[in-house]
Structure 1
């Protein structure tokens, strides 16, 4: 085993603390920016007179993040972590400053896309750098803290975004600058003294040129499908066809590239392929907890975005507790499989519990449901990263980590489409069936000033719902509750498939200093030999 020993950079305790603190800040920046803008978006588009381009502020960021994530992993494997993560942070900060001074919706959309290009590298490279300085056996307790950071950002984003929208929405972007600069200085300081070895390289320009448009076409299709355009429309069909053709050509090109953007040999290992599928599937279901629980609090219960963010604290607490605890336990026992299985089971139970939400559900009950869901999500997220990192060679560590992030991001985009379609279908059905009877109960004065022709206007915001006459408001709230029940049921079915998939994973041991997977043949032999339950 001597030639296969882990040879990453061992840091002193103080240097490790400095580096890890800086990496947590970079993860916080990326996670916060996914949630902080949504709450303030109505204020922003109102100020910039861009309601018709509303969705592009989010879509541009999402597409740029997902398309660039796989590239960062490979570039950092070739050129080293330090210059690439510094580039990602610098792009993100420059784009944040530019977004803050935007004067038109077009400018904001372009700068949000540029922000996404930077954000694509922040989370991926943070996980990868931890893997450079710690052997797999010790990574769990540190990467578990990343899950806690993600949870804090998920709850803090809506709260902070709602408050800053009332003060000055531009500070939603400016707030990134001081935090990002601290992270930039700290990461540069530590990694300059402890550079990650690089190797001879040749850029796979053809692979990159095929991968990025394939991802863009797919994300545009799942983002627009059923909303901007019908699924059967020529636009959506063409986008899906283009994504499929580009993906096939990309795979062909990667088999012939000397330095492929996505080394296909990683997928010959069943564990890596299975873990990638699990990340994609779990990303679809995870969207339900992050997006639709706040929707219940705002649309059904009438809370403000800031209040709904605070009400998400039980879920955040669950993610923090289970992320940290599972990280330490994984480092102690050296195995991760049963944490993934338990996380899938508990997440599924949490989503099933949410199908029992009603208009009069007490807060203690919904808080309990959120705690259960958070515990399951926290058990799941970081062990899956370890599973993918543990199976590949050190040379492919960066691209393996970025593959996990990319799969989860792509799953989130697909989840937006699937769960959104479920929600809209139930909402339309319930409103169409029940609004006429409710309208008949209105007084002549109320009925004269009310129209059911535009269902979107009735359900566009908590304020609009609160202003409805009592009979109409009751119908709308119950329609949202029924729609959310269906959303959580579908999400629970999706996470139930994760239970099966995680049970299929081999129960591998995380390797310590004495094991390094530099030789694929040796790695494959060790994996086959280490599948005990």
Structure 2
């Protein structure tokens, strides 16, 4: 599609960005609203699963659709993705318990993976690597805008109306995006000589599902050394070996192993994996601090997180333009990961005494780093491979970032849970105090054993009003104690994110910086690429 005129390309990109915005808005609107939704539905122990199942199902479709869209074209898959996302979003709003919400979020994830994979691949179809810098920055900025307005709107909805509208409010926008893609996106012919790698797809799925389940359950539902976790890891390892063996034998592998001979492809994906772990940790757990520790309402929580997303939008747009203008990109990745790591490190020092201004400054630093680094790793992967592998390369970049987010959130959830329990059981003063107040007050105060109550300031105030005058000081003491415990646990989570991002910064140093091409064709290079030695010999 590179031969199309600029006006046609711009029209197509408007349709693609509309589809991506629909998925992104529905994803980000949940972040500040979810603590309150969980409080209504119950099941705090499954909180991370609402995120994990989305990333699990989107990871599977991301990598599978990457290869399929290389064969059949992007259009059918982006349309299918929007359709699945519409159905999943509607069903999420009908959930009666946490189990239903998790199931329907899985359907959302199937659609979301298709949309994101095909959207970024479409940029590669339309533009040369040098031009992609601008559009990748714009798309990342669009995602940032959704992160700007989504959380604020989500908080407002759960504060002022029924939570179901969190999932329904953008459904009309989804229908608009669907018809824009249907009429604006050009149809491409199926590539001849390509076959679908069913066996490889099966083994890849059997690798990812038990692996992600193991990371999600280990340390929370099961001990890390339990038979269930070891069995899941063992099954994933066997499936991975079978997957690699299959990919080396089949004609059209779903994820060609020779791509990993390209050091740019490999290192960029590993760095993207670490960035995803740090990014999702910050996005997921900041509302916990703002609502649970600071006692802020869900709607105001969205306003407080807004500066982080705004700084991310500005950084993405500016760095995208500079990348296209200068052809340089590695410096943005290095400075971005370092800046985001510094922001996460500053977040780890926050406590119950931290002011709103300090929180905003720390989040702006984190957002600037994220905006600079996020678009780069997809761009480096696309620039390093041949056009015929564009979908696979792009989807692999999305996959590694999503896997990083899934595993990172699971590990951080374990850290949060263990640290919180440790801090709450270490202090016996609250339990001793229950012996010197009326029995009715003591019974009510025992409901504060669940930190989930901190996420609903209205319910806290209602509980306090039911206590006697003698029980209210004890109530205030217990609430402060729980907020300090939650703050300490979240500090451990943010510090873990900072360490992960510093590791990403170190890894980024090893990405070989090659010039961004000004056409789709990839010239011969001394760097081993996806074409293999035989292809290079006659290029």
Give TM-score, length-normalised by structure 2: 0.88
Alpha carbons 2:416, 2:492 under 8 Å: kept:
yes
Aligned to 2:521: 516
Cα distance in 2 for residues equivalent to 1:230 and 1:344: 32
CA separation of 1:476/1:50 partners in 2, compared to 1, >3 Å: closer, same or farther? closer
Match of 2:63 in 1: 70
**Structure 1, residues 94-132: CA drift from partner, whole Å, max 9, x if none?**
333444456676655443322221111111111110111
1:12: how far off? 3.3
CA change 1:474–1:57 in 2 (3 A) is closer
Q: How far is the alpha carbon of 1:53 from its aligned partner? A: 7.1
Q: Distance in 1 between matches of 2:336 and 2:510?
A: 15
Report deviation, 1:173: 3.1
**Cα 1:298–1:98, aligned 2, differ >3 Å: closer, same or farther?**
closer
Ranges in structure 2 where 5+ consecutive residues have no aligned partner? 465-473, 532-539
SS at match of 1:255: helix
1:132 and 1:58 mapped to 2: Cα distance? 30
SS of the residue corresponding to residue 201 of structure 1 reads coil
Counterpart of 2:254 in structure 1 is 261
Aligned pairs for 1:26-425 (under 5 A) are 26-37=19-30, 39-41=32-34, 57-101=50-94, 108-165=101-158, 166-192=160-186, 195=188, 198-425=191-418
Q: Could you tell me how far 1:139 is from its partner in structure 2?
A: 0.8
Is the 2:213–2:232 contact (alpha carbons within 8 Å) kept by the matching residues of 1? yes
Alignment check: 8 A CA contact 1:337 1:508 kept: no
For the Cα contact (< 8 Å) 2:293–2:454, is it kept in 1? no
On the 8 A contact 1:439/1:472 being kept in 2, the answer is no
Alpha-carbon displacement from aligned partner over 1:155-200 (angstroms, at most 9, x marks no partner):
43333233334433333333343212222222232323x6377343
Q: How many residues are matched? A: 518
Question: Does the C-alpha gap of structure 1 residues 313 and 97 become closer, same or farther in structure 2, counting only changes over 3 Å?
Answer: closer
Which deviates more, 439-448 or 9-18?
439-448
Residues 1:206 and 1:520: Cα distance change in structure 2 (over 3 Å): farther
Contact 1:22 1:186 in 2 (8 A): yes
**Quick one: which of 435, 441, 449 aligns to 1:449?**
441
Conserved in 1, the CA contact under 8 Å of 2:52 and 2:410?
no
| Structure 2 CA distance for partners of 1:355 and 1:212, relative to 1, 3 Å | same
How well do the aligned residues superpose, as a CA RMSD in angstroms? 3.0
- Give me the whole-angstrom Cα distance separating, in 1, the residues matched to 2:292 and 2:184: 47
Compared CA separation, residues 267 and 332, structure 1 to 2 (3 A): same
Q: 1:53 to 1:321 in 2, by over 3 A?
A: closer
Cα deviation code 1:233-286 (max 9, x no counterpart):
222221111111111110111000101010111111011001111111111111
Distance 1:53 1:287, change over 3 A: closer
Assess, with a 3 A threshold, how the Cα gap between structure 1 residues 354 and 457 changes in structure 2: closer, same or farther: same
| Contact 2:273 2:400 (C-alpha < 8 Å) held by counterparts | yes
Partners of 2:39 and 2:481 in 1: how far apart?
Answer: 29
Question: What does residue 530 of structure 1 align with?
Answer: none
Question: Does residue 480 of the first structure (1) align with residue 486 of the second (2)?
Answer: yes
CA deviations on 1:129-164 (whole Å, 9 max, x unpaired) are: 011111000111111122222223234333323333
Counterpart in the other structure of 2:505: 499
Using structure 1 for the length normalisation, give the TM-score.
0.89
Distance 1:240 1:450, change over 3 A: farther
Alpha-carbon offset, residue 333 of structure 1:
0.8
Alpha-carbon distance in structure 2 between the residues aligned to 1:175 and 1:41: 15
Aligned counterparts of 1:177 and 1:454: Cα–Cα separation in 2: 38
Contact 1:36–1:161 (CA under 8 A) maintained in structure 2: yes
CA separation in 1, counterparts of 2:377 and 2:365? Answer: 19
Between the aligned partners of 1:371 and 1:381, the Cα distance in structure 2 is 15
Aligned to 2:12: 19
Quote the Cα distance in structure 2 between the aligned partners of 1:157 and 1:408: 21
Cα pair distance change 1:306/1:137, threshold 3 Å: same
Q: Distance in 2 between matches of 1:415 and 1:48?
A: 25
Contact persistence 2:49–2:216 (CA under 8 A): no
